[in-house]
A and B are shown apart, each in its own frame.
Chain A
Amino acid sequence: MGVKEAVDEAFRAEWGRVVATLIRFTGDWDLAEECAADAFASALATWPRDGVPRRPGAWLTTTARHRALDRLRSGAAEVNRLRRLAPTVEETVETVETGPDPVPDDRLRLMFTCCHPALPLEAQVALTLRTLAGLTTPELARAFLVPEATMAQRLVRAKRKIRNARIPYRVPPAELLPERTDGVLGVLYLLFNEGYSASTDLLRPALSTEAIRLARVLVSLMPDAPEVGGLLALMLFHDARRATRLDAGGDLVTLADQDRARWDRAVIDEGVAVLDAALSRGRPGPYQLQAAVAACHATAKDADDTDWRRIAELYALIGQLNPSPVVELNRAVAVAEVDGPAAGLALVDALRADGKLAGYHLMPATRADLLRRLGRTEDAAAAYQEALALAPTDAERRFLARRIAELPN
């Protein structure tokens, strides 16, 4: 692995941790991000000469702290903050060389602060992805379909509010934990999806790994909150199939065509264990039910072995908890497997008629697939074209183009 790759790897793995720790020490979010960025720039400059340090994360955190110290020294009004920071820097230098991992994990603290309900939801998501995952403002703007200036303003406002309204930098106390957890779960799942499906056409597995890691911490912190386990299991089932989602050419492979021998059995087993533990509490929620659907796929010997009847039931339950046209679309797919494509198409056409999924490429793509199976080739081709025009990534466009080419003449 070259030095550039090592720095990229360290960025994905360590950015959130460096920022989280720097926020705790400086109390200044902008300063923390700037110093973290400086530390990574410094790594690019010095690692080629000195070699990649044994613990890149510790090196980066220490370097970022030194940078913060330098910045604060040059600002005369920062004496108190400087006093707080100074001894820590010295301690860190000592322990980096000798002790175990000297960097405490502040990411959970950062997570709960980013997801504080006094911040607008869109700002919670943006701030989490910016500070914990290191997504840039242009990347965030693309992911959320807003102009860069809007995204920049969203982040500035959120940070200003944290400072001005004194939103505490902490994991909430036990009595507040349950209600604050829902927000964190929503943000984590978005984070996972950013790494899994990637709005940028680029798989960023570290983001998914990060989401899973944070979810594991949450599970250990809140064993009585089954939805946390539900989310973790859901992400594990998706993650276990990661290697088979794209073929060698980078094209999408459908669930039915994926090479199940290459699914990560250990990860699936962990998912099953986590989900069973969560479901045993008898309080199912949307994440547990979605995980149960994913478990049906992950544990089926082959595509034909899939328990579509149970999947259709699970989607019906999910729809009862949270009525959503996307869930209904998924139910239509399952119903088509149980009762035939005509039954599925009837549900999709009902969705199409109410217009709530207009602009969502998977609606015409699903419809096209059902029409193809019914032998309505011309209608299928038209629906595939409709999907092609809406598909957000190149991989999906190539997949749809291939489907069109495969239609009988």
Chain B
Amino acid sequence: MRFLMLVCVDDELAGTVDANPAAWVAETTAKRQRIEGNQLRPVSDATTLWPKDGGGTFVSDGPFAETKEQIAGYDILECVDLAEAVEVAAKHPAAGIGAIELRPVWE
């Protein structure tokens, strides 16, 4: 089954800690546990659409949640179960720095 893995770190830590995931990517991709993924641009480059009173949407600057931790990257995992997904996620170099959220894809 597939999981969306969201790597969430403190935006201010970006660039100050060594969390190069290249080795993790190579290993998990080789084992076919990871289908794809990437790092995201910083939240200052984010744009959010919000519902507008009376229908429609409006566009605003910034991420949808003004929290200290922000989504820094995502991966799509292909794992047998949550146990395997947790095992894979724990090996990600960001796992000791920020939160990693695993969301099963509804399928």
Residues of A within 8 A of B (CB): 116-120, 157, 160-161, 164-165, 179
User: Is there an interface contact between A179 and B60, defined as CB atoms closer than 8 Å?
Assistant: no
User: Is there an interface contact between B59 and A161, defined as CB atoms closer than 8 Å?
Assistant: no
For this complex, 7 residue pairs linking A to B, each with C-beta atoms less than 8 Å apart, are A116-B59, A117-B58, A117-B59, A117-B60, A160-B44, A165-B45, A179-B58
User: Is there an interface contact between A157 and B47, defined as CB atoms closer than 8 Å?
Assistant: no
User: Is there an interface contact between A120 and B45, defined as CB atoms closer than 8 Å?
Assistant: no
Tally of B interface residues using CB under 8 Å: 10
A-side binding surface: helix, strand, loop or mixed?
loop
User: Is there an interface contact between A157 and B44, defined as CB atoms closer than 8 Å?
Assistant: yes
Q: Does B61 contact A (CB under 8 A)?
A: yes
- A-B contacts besides A117-B58, A164-B45, 18 pairs, CB < 8 Å: A116-B59, A117-B59, A117-B60, A117-B61, A118-B61, A119-B61, A120-B61, A157-B44, A160-B44, A160-B45, A161-B44, A161-B45, A164-B41, A165-B41, A165-B45, A165-B46, A165-B47, A179-B58
Q: How far is the CB of B41 from chain A (nearest CB, A)?
A: 5
CA distance A120 to B48 in the complex (A): 12
The 5 closest A-B pairs by CB, nearest first: A118-B47, A164-B45, A117-B59, A120-B61, A161-B45
CA distance A164 to B47 in the complex (A): 11
Chain B neighbourhood of A118, CB < 8 A: 47, 59-61
Chain B neighbourhood of A161, CB < 8 A: 44-45
Q: How far is the CB of B12 from chain A (nearest CB, A)?
A: 15
Give the residue name and chain of the B residue nearest to A162 (CB).
Answer: B45
CA distance A31 to B62 in the complex (A): 26
Give the residue name and chain of the A residue nearest to B52 (CB).
Answer: A179
CA distance A118 to B44 in the complex (A): 10
Q: Which of B27-46 contact A (CB under 8 A)?
A: 41, 44-46
CA distance A165 to B49 in the complex (A): 14
Q: How far is the CB of A178 from chain B (nearest CB, A)?
A: 12
Interface centre among B47, B58, B61, B62 (most CB of A within 10 A): B61
CA distance A398 to B59 in the complex (A): 45
CA distance A119 to B45 in the complex (A): 9
Chain A neighbourhood of B46, CB < 8 A: 165
Q: How far is the CB of A296 from chain B (nearest CB, A)?
A: 35
CA distance A125 to B8 in the complex (A): 32
Give the residue name and chain of the A residue nearest to B46 (CB).
Answer: A165
Q: How far is the CB of B39 from chain A (nearest CB, A)?
A: 12
Q: How far is the CB of B86 from chain A (nearest CB, A)?
A: 32
Chain A neighbourhood of B59, CB < 8 A: 116-118
Q: How far is the CB of A170 from chain B (nearest CB, A)?
A: 15
CA distance A165 to B60 in the complex (A): 13
Q: How far is the CB of A179 from chain B (nearest CB, A)?
A: 7
Interface string of B51-87 (1 = CB under 8 A from A): 0000000111110000000000000000000000000
Chain A neighbourhood of B47, CB < 8 A: 118, 165
Chain A neighbourhood of B41, CB < 8 A: 164-165
Q: How far is the CB of B24 from chain A (nearest CB, A)?
A: 25
Give the residue name and chain of the A residue nearest to B41 (CB).
Answer: A164
Chain B neighbourhood of A116, CB < 8 A: 59
CA distance A398 to B75 in the complex (A): 65
CA distance A157 to B60 in the complex (A): 15
CA distance A165 to B61 in the complex (A): 11
Q: How far is the CB of B94 from chain A (nearest CB, A)?
A: 21
Chain B neighbourhood of A120, CB < 8 A: 61-62
Chain A neighbourhood of B60, CB < 8 A: 117-118
CA distance A240 to B60 in the complex (A): 37
Interface centre among B46, B47, B60 (most CB of A within 10 A): B47
CA distance A120 to B60 in the complex (A): 8
Give the residue name and chain of the B residue nearest to A123 (CB).
Answer: B61
Give the residue name and chain of the A residue nearest to B56 (CB).
Answer: A179
